[in-house]
Every structure is written in C-alpha cells, then in structure tokens.
C-alpha cells in the first residue's frame, strides 16, 4: 500500500470507543460497550490484509491476521479504539503517519476480533 489516493479510499469504516454504562445510581452494575466516536465516526479509507502471524498463547498457536487501513489524517484516534468493517470488529494495534504523508494520511494496523 504505497500512496493512498482518494480513488483508492473506497472502503467505509466506523470508528468506535468503549464506554462504561451503569445500570444503577451508584454504577454498581457497570458494563462496557462499544459506541461510535462522537466526531465523524464514518470514514472512507483503503484496506490491505497482511500476512498473518502465529504467536504462541497459553501453550497453543493462535493465528492472528494483520490488516492495514489508510485514512485521511485526524487527531482523535487512539489504540484503545476499534473500527467496524463489513460487520467485523478490528482492534487497533498502532497508528502512524506514513513517511512523506505527514498530516495528510494515517496508517492504522489492526487485527480482527477473535
């Protein structure tokens, strides 16, 4: 995924963050749920699946597919967030500005929910 032009940004992503939702006055039954971020949660971008990795977790091999997404530059995304694409949740692993695209594009590396 070298340069991303507007024409290649043909996928739609919904960025979300986790919020705690309390069910009582004292928030004793709090649960976490994913909600759209408050500002422009729907974003156009490009997507590229990368070769997966097979890390060992709890003495067994677990396949992990890596996906790279490029979107227009913004400052409100963090690695604590996730995004939805085609009804699949992706958890953000890293967010960088690609070389030569400072304050123009963001490159997001993410993995699918298990």
Structure confidence by residue, pLDDT tens digits, 66-87: 899 999 999 999 999 999 999 9
CATH code for the part of the protein at 6-112:
2.40.10.270
First vs last C-alpha separation in the chain: 25
Domain layout of the chain by residue ranges: 6-112
Question: What's the rounded mean pLDDT across residues 23-35?
Answer: 76
Of residues 50, 53, 55, the one with CA closest to residue 69: 50
Phi, psi of 104 (to 5 degrees): -120, -50
What gap in Å lies between CA 13 and CA 54, rounded to an integer? 26
Given CA atoms 94, 97, 39, 49 in this order, what sign does their dihedral have?
negative
Q: Which pTM was predicted?
A: 0.80
């Amino acid at each position: 995924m070298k340069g991303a032009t507007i024409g290649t940004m043909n996928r739609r992503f919904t960025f979300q963050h986790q919020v705690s939702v309390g069910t009582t006055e004292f928030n004793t039954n709090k649960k976490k749920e994913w909600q759209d971020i408050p500002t422009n949660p729907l974003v156009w971008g490009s997507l590229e699946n990368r070769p997966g990795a097979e890390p060992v977790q709890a003495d067994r091999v677990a396949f992990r597919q890596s996906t790279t997404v490029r979107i227009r530059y913004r400052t409100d995304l963090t690695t604590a967030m996730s995004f939805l694409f085609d009804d699949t949740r992706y958890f953000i692993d890293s967010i960088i500005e690609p070389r030569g695209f400072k304050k123009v594009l963001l490159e997001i590396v993410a993995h699918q929910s298990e």
